[in-house]
Amino acid sequence: MELTRRHALAGAAAIAVSPMLPAAPVRAGAPLADKQAPSYYRYRVGDAQVTAISDGVNTFALPETFVLNAKKDEVNAALEKAFLPKDKVSIHFAPLVINTGGKLVVVDTGNGPGAFASSKGNVGQFASNMAAAGIDPKAVDMVVISHFHGDHINGLLTADNVLAFPHAEVLVPAAEWKYFMDDGEMSRQATDRMKGVFANARRVFDAGLKKKVTPYEAGKDVAPGLQAVASLGHTPGHSSFILSSGSDKVFIQSDVTNHPAVFVANPGWHLMFDQDPAMAEATRRKVYDMLVADRMRVQGFHYPFPANGFVEKDGNGYRLVPAPWSPVI
């Protein structure tokens, strides 16, 4: 028996095509969707709940010096090994909202409303994706900042330059605050990029927040169950976090690595945005050896959404094994 659609439609062979089947109405082709799904994802850590919320993705031509100590060809090879297009790089951003059970805590805030406008929505999606997740910025109790780069702090302010989380205490690493608010440190910056980082930090924290911040020290809980961990090098006060509840925990690495296909695979490579590249590498190796030894879940600000998984050794580097998406909590 060889059944073809032609046979079937003609009512041939064993297939009945009922003449009573109502005629489908004439329709134009369904339009292609123009928006991605709202990019938020929830998981539990003991009694706490983490919501990873994408701030979007920034795709740009691969800079010659994206990795300070590797050739562009080597970086392209790492991208191709990970089935990514070469000669460009896509940087992802994933702030968090943690519900500790008692407190609603934002960890880092994304590129902010200005970037949303200038990128035509490619980045600066934190606010809209948080709204899609049903989380009210007015209900946020605390905002914890890992470090003072713009993609982490610019979302602290609305387009009108007022606090995006109006009832939240804003917590910042003490060492980061000391460094970036120091006029002497600012005066010694030689590059336009670093001058810009200082200027932007002061725009947000001084002009915007009027210095109403609470510095925190590494080793202390900054919120219930959320411990700050010094992970210096990317910036002078860069902080990671361990969220613990019962026997469950996750390591929130912040920027210990940038894109995993490049820097988890090659921990010795130095990102152009690491302020002290050697210290950043030492931190990276220490953190990733710990993640491997403890088989601890890790959440990465620059991992592709939903930006969490586990780490295994792979040759001289490591491999991120993304955690499977669960369609139930």
Token pair of 200, please? 């932007």
Minimum CB distance to a copy of itself, residue 148 (Å): 15
Residues 193-212 that bind a copy of itself (CB under 8 A): 210-212
Q: Which two tokens stand for residue 194?
A: 């670093």
Read off the tokens for 44.
């539990």
Among 184, 295, 315, 316, which residue sits at the site for a copy of itself (rule: CB under 8 A)?
295
Q: To the nearest whole angstrom, how small is the minimum distance from the Cβ of residue 207 to a copy of itself?
A: 14
Using CB under 8 A as the binding rule, whether residue 219 contacts a copy of itself is answered as: no
What's the Cα-to-Cα distance from 289 to each of 64, 275, 284, 313, 319, rounded to whole Å? 29, 22, 8, 8, 12
* Positions 264 through 293 that interact with a copy of itself (CB under 8 A): none
Q: Which of residues 131-170 bind a copy of itself (CB under 8 A)?
A: 132-135, 139, 141, 166-167
8 Å CB contact between 298 and 250? yes
- At 229 the three-state DSSP class reads strand
- Which residues does residue 215 pair with via DSSP β-bridges, in sequence order? 172
26-65 residues in contact with a copy of itself (CB under 8 A) are 27, 29-30, 32-42, 49, 51, 54-57
Rule CB under 8 A: is residue 324 a binding residue for a copy of itself?
Answer: yes
Q: What is the DSSP string of 288-327?
A: HHHHHHHT-EEEETTSSTT-EEEEEEETTEEEEEEPPP-S
Considering only residues 109, 111, 129, 235, which one is a binding residue for a copy of itself as defined by CB under 8 A? 129
C-beta of residue 116 within 8 angstroms of C-beta of residue 125: yes
3 binds a copy of itself (CB under 8 A): yes
Q: Which stretch binds a copy of itself (CB under 8 A): 4-12, 69-77, 194-202, 246-254?
A: 4-12
Q: Nearest approach, Cβ of 130 to a copy of itself (angstroms)?
A: 12
Q: Is 214 in the site for a copy of itself (CB under 8 A)?
A: yes
Alpha-carbon distance 196 to 200, whole Å? 6
Three-state DSSP class for 125?
A: coil
Residues 171-190 that bind a copy of itself (CB under 8 A): 171, 174, 177-178, 181
